[in-house]
């Protein structure tokens, strides 16, 4: 689906110091429940042996993919890609909180808010974007690791960072259906790690309910309805051919 702008995150891994200001800022800005988080800083762990040690921190949130598996699986269309910005959003009014999308996300970026009965996740602080502010995590990032902007706009800080970096660009891109890649919109720069291998996005999981619906109940009903409709159509045709006799059944 073509969209007007192509918003995305650019994360400079070398600048993240795991201060977690972003996590708190997001929690406050989006009233995230205490037992959930919308964004992460993944600690890839202390590597090496004393004194030759290494440790990097990888900021992480919803990838706002170009081809999100979550949207593929949402029954009600509650989750969708915003036409203006490309941000993947959840319409809380339309969501019933069934959690199909939570299972389907390869990045485990979504959660079920038990109290409100709906699904939630990083929405790139959509409510801030509309008033010209950056997402809460990006605004407060002390190290300047988190960047956000329209990747199509050559003047945005995100596009500039992508252009100027000498490092490899990494994305946690995975193929989940033949020929279909998620195409995430978080670009990682300046990371020495193979992030795909370290962060391990997984294939979308589909719940038994959804699978049984798709594979069994859906075709079963279509066949059943098709059969009866066809049957009645045939009968009506027969009827037309037979004609109606006024005195047949009197």
Partner 1 sequence: MIERNVSRRDFLKLSGAAFGMLAARQFIPPPVASDARQANLLDLNGDGYIPTICEMCVWRCGVVAKVNNGRVVKLEGNPDHPQSRGKLCARGQSGLMTTYDPDRVLHPLIRVGKRGEGKFRQASWSEALDLVADKMQAVKEKYGPEAMIFSSTHNLSQVQFENLLSGFGSPNYGTQRSLCFNAMVTAFLLTYGIEEPSRNYDNVKFILLVGRNLTEAISTSETSDLVEAVSRGARLVYLDPRYTKTAALADEWIPIRPGTDASFLLAMLQVITSEELGDCEFVKRYTVGCDDLPATMQNYTPKWAEAITGVPAATIDRIAREFAAAGKDALVHPGWRTSNFINSFQTERAIAALNALVGNVLRPGGCLIAESPDASNVPLGKPSQPPYPRVSAMRLDGVPWKYPLVPLKLGIFQELRDAILSGQPYQARGWLISRQNPVLSLPDRKRTLEALDKLDFIAVVDIIMNDTSWFADVVLPESSYLERFDPLSVVGEKIFIRQPVIEPQGDTHSALWIFKELGKRLGLGDYFQYQDEEDYLRIQLAPLKLNLDELKVKGFLESPSEKKNGEIKFNTPSGKIEIYSETLAKAGFSPWPTWEEPPYPKPGEYYLLTGKVGQHTQFATQNNQLLHKYEDKPRIWVHTSAAKTIGIVTDDLVRVISPVGEVILAALVTEGIRPDCVYMTPGYGHLSKGLVTAYAHGASDSELHMTFTDPISGGQALSQTFVQLAKA
Partner 2 sequence: MSSYKKIPLSDRKRLHEKKIRKHDLANILTHWFNVGMWALLLPTGIAIISSPRLGISPEWLQEFFRNSFGGTDNLIKFHYTMGLIWTIVLTWNVLLGFRKYFLPFAAHRMWLDKDDIKWLMVKPLQMIGLKKGQPLPPQDEYNAGQKLYMYVVILGTAGIMLSGIVMTFRTIFPVWMKQWAQPLHWVSVGAIVAGLAVHVYMGAFFPEEKESFFSMFTGEVSAWFARAHHEKWYWRKVEQEMEWEEKVRKESEVI
Distance CA 171, CA 9 (A): 11
227 contact choice in partner 1, partner 2, none (CB below 5 to 8 Å, kind-dependent): partner 2
Binding site for partner 1 (CB under 8 A): 12, 14-15, 17-21, 23-25, 27-31, 33-34, 37, 46, 48-51, 53-57, 92-93, 116, 118, 136, 139-144
Q: Which residues pair with 43 in a beta bridge?
A: 57
With CB under 8 A as the contact rule, the residue among 4, 54, 76, 142 that binds partner 2 is 76
Residue 199 touching partner 2 (CB under 8 A): no
Residue 189 touching partner 2 (CB under 8 A): no
Distance CA 246, CA 250 (A): 8
Give the binding-site size for partner 2 (rule: CB under 8 A): 49
Residue 235 touching partner 2 (CB under 8 A): yes
The smaller minimum CB distance to partner 2, of residues 28 and 229, is found at 229
Q: How far is the CB of 92 from partner 2 (least distance, A)?
A: 8
Residue 210 touching partner 2 (CB under 8 A): yes
Please classify residue 119 by burial: count the beta carbons closer than 10 Å to its beta carbon, then call 0-12 exposed, 13-18 middle and 19+ buried.
Answer: buried
54 contact choice in partner 2, partner 1, none (CB below 5 to 8 Å, kind-dependent): partner 1
Residue 48: CB atoms within 10 Å: 9
212 phi, psi to nearest 5 deg: -65, -35
Residue 88 touching partner 2 (CB under 8 A): no
Distance CA 11, CA 189 (A): 6
Please classify residue 226 by burial: count the beta carbons closer than 10 Å to its beta carbon, then call 0-12 exposed, 13-18 middle and 19+ buried.
Answer: exposed
């Amino acid at each position: 689906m073509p969209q007007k702008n192509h918003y995305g995150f650019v994360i400079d891994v070398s600048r993240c110091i795991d201060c977690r200001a972003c996590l708190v800022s997001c929690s406050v800005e989006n009233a995230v429940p205490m037992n959930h988080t919308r964004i992460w800083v993944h600690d890839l762990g202390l590597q090496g042996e004393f004194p030759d040690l290494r440790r990097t921190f990888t900021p992480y949130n919803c990838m706002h993919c170009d081809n999100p598996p979550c949207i593929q699986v949402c029954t009600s269309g509650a989750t969708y890609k915003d036409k203006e910005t490309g941000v993947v959003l959840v319409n809380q009014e339309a969501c019933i909180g069934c959690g199909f999308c939570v299972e389907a996300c390869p990045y485990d970026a979504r959660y079920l808010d038990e109290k409100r009965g709906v699904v939630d996740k990083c929405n790139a602080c959509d409510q801030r974007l509309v008033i010209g502010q950056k997402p809460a995590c990006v605004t407060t990032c002390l190290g300047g690791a988190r960047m956000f902007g329209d990747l199509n706009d050559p003047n945005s800080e995100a596009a500039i960072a992508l252009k100027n970096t000498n490092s490899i660009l990494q994305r946690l891109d995975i193929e989940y259906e033949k020929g279909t890649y998620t195409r995430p919109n978080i670009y990682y720069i300046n990371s020495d790690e193979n992030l795909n291998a370290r962060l391990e996005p997984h294939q979308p999981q589909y719940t038994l309910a959804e699978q049984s619906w798709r594979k069994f109940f859906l075709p079963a009903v279509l066949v059943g309805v098709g059969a009866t409709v066809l049957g009645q159509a045939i009968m009506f045709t027969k009827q037309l051919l037979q004609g109606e006799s006024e005195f047949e059944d009197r």
